[in-house]
Amino acid sequence: MVITPATEAFDAVDIIRTKRDGGVLSTPQIDWVIDAYTRGAVADEQMSALAMAILIRGMGRDEISGWTRAMIASGERMDFTDLPRPSVDKHSTGGVGDKITLPLAPLVAACGAAVPQLSGRGLGHTGGTLDKLESVPGWQAGLDNDRMRQILVDVGAVICAAGSGLAPADRKLYALRDVTGTVEAIPLIASSIMSKKIAEGTGGLVLDVKVGSGAFMKSIEDARTLAGTMVGLGADAGVPTVALLTDMSTPLGLTVGNALEVRESVEVLAGGGPTDVVDLTLALAREMLALAGIDADPAAALADGRAMDAWKAMIRAQGGDPDAALPTARESHVVTAPADGVLTRLDALAVGVASWRLGAGRARKEDPVQAGAGIELHAKPGQQVRAGQPLLTLHTDTPERFARALESLEGAYDVVDGGTATVGEVVLERVDTPLA
């Protein structure tokens, strides 16, 4: 039995019982439990029970705000208010083929803002921004704070690994939630994301809350709740925050996988690229520039090469060669359309899992990823295809992975003679007010 020592201000079991029975946790209780968990005085099994009680009972706005503040206070807090440019950041809740950070950060920097992107590596079916950038020859994710600040002054955009000093309580709690079936608790997702973003010191924040099979939030109602909760947390912390709810029922763009997604991002920076990727990049850029108080047209910066110049400078500043050839996988396998008709559905989650099984993602955080692995899409929902036409090309260095990837794609798409697909805009809704 774990007994909280008498020197501690609260008893973990009392706090668990309070939430289990639907009560409200006080700010001192929350401050204590987060601090005590971070220093090991609250055991993993106690925090697991509390996380499950929060998942089932929920939390009020004051509790979530207090929880977020306590997680921020568990580590260092960065400050970019002395930079010569206003800072603004974007966070995506994660999706399949979501490479938007890559063109977006240099684009917004090219328009005059500072974009301090502290990113992570992928775990599970959604890819990580650092894994994608690490496929660029020479590029290094690790930077100290002084170098990060210098790149923000010189280039305006930096994408690097979040140091271990930022919200350490979240790192510990997130790993615990991952193995206790408590990742899905909206108060815990919102406070996890916002504690890191607020600790990072950004002046404004735009959230891309994904909705659909390839996203955490499968329904628009849950996505609205998460978005409204995070917008409220930003407001409570004095960080103006806006959220876009965006479609993740099918992969974003035409590529899924590390080097494949870098290639597509460079196409966007060169003024081309798939419509959904361009539209979402521009929609998020407009929101970020509005929060930064900058009156600029991001479409012009994409068209005239300024965003591409900022990308090259950003890559070079971290040791990368933006002109070097990107790695490609050794083996490929083509999946063809089974019949003539309209591709009415191509499921994001199935494609994400298939790409992960091909080697683009990792099962454990210490696993390596293959830079060239992933999937190219040759058609998107709504398009007419002919029997035998390539639908998807699977890439990997290890061909023994094809069978499991193909299993994931079974039943993942429909080709219907005379069928139709409701293909809407990628941006579904905008949320700029806290949840009531």
Instruction: Please state, as a whole number, how many other Cβ atoms lie within 10 Å of the Cβ of residue 234.
Output: 24
Residue 174 interacts with ligand URA (CB under 6 A)?
yes
Chain position whose Cβ is nearest to ligand URA: 192
Binders of ligand URA among residues 28 to 87 (CB under 6 A) are none
For every residue of 230-286, DSSP letters joined together read HHHHHHHTT--EEEEEEE-SS-STTEESHHHHHHHHHHHHTT-S-HHHHHHHHHHHH
Residue 186 interacts with ligand URA (CB under 6 A)?
no
Q: Report the distance separating Cα 199 and Cα 203, nearest Å.
A: 11
Nearer residue to ligand URA within complex by CB, 18 or 93: 93
Backbone φ and ψ for 95, nearest 5 degrees, come out as -155, 180
Residue 405 interacts with ligand URA (CB under 6 A)?
no
Residue 192 interacts with ligand URA (CB under 6 A)?
yes
Total residues at interface with ligand URA (CB under 6 A): 6
Instruction: Please state, as a whole number, how many other Cβ atoms lie within 10 Å of the Cβ of residue 425.
Output: 11
Picking from 37, 110, 79, 73, the residue whose alpha carbon sits closest to that of residue 309 is: 110
Q: Find the shortest distance in angstroms from Cβ 169 to ligand URA.
A: 12
Q: Find the shortest distance in angstroms from Cβ 140 to ligand URA.
A: 23
Strands 205-211 and 241-247: parallel
Residue 265 interacts with ligand URA (CB under 6 A)?
no
- Can you tell me which of 78, 104, 189, 343 binds ligand URA, judged by CB under 6 A? 189
Q: Report the distance separating Cα 204 and Cα 210, nearest Å.
A: 19
Residue 88 interacts with ligand URA (CB under 6 A)?
no
Q: Find the shortest distance in angstroms from Cβ 116 to ligand URA.
A: 16
Backbone φ and ψ for 279, nearest 5 degrees, come out as -60, -45
H or E element, residue 198: helix 186-199
Site stretch for ligand URA (CB under 6 A), options 45-53, 64-72, 186-194, 292-300: 186-194
Nearer residue to ligand URA within complex by CB, 123 or 335: 123
Nearer residue to ligand URA within complex by CB, 52 or 412: 52
What amino acid positions are annotated as catalytic residues?
91, 170, 177, 192, 196
Nearer residue to ligand URA within complex by CB, 289 or 431: 431
Judge whether 26 and 8 are in contact, CB under 8 Å.
no
Picking from 92, 79, 84, the residue whose alpha carbon sits closest to that of residue 126 is: 92
Residue 193 interacts with ligand URA (CB under 6 A)?
yes
Q: Find the shortest distance in angstroms from Cβ 193 to ligand URA.
A: 5
Site stretch for ligand URA (CB under 6 A), options 76-84, 184-192, 265-273, 406-414: 184-192
Q: Find the shortest distance in angstroms from Cβ 22 to ligand URA.
A: 23
User: Hunting for tokens 């100290």 — which residue is that?
Assistant: 144
Nearer residue to ligand URA within complex by CB, 43 or 183: 183
According to DSSP, the residues that pair with 286 across neighbouring strands are: none
The amino acid sitting at 224 is R
Q: Find the shortest distance in angstroms from Cβ 51 to ligand URA.
A: 11
Q: Report the distance separating Cα 172 and Cα 167, nearest Å.
A: 9
According to DSSP, the residues that pair with 376 across neighbouring strands are: 255, 393
Nearer residue to ligand URA within complex by CB, 83 or 174: 174
Enumerate binding residues for ligand URA (CB under 6 A): 174, 183, 188-189, 192-193
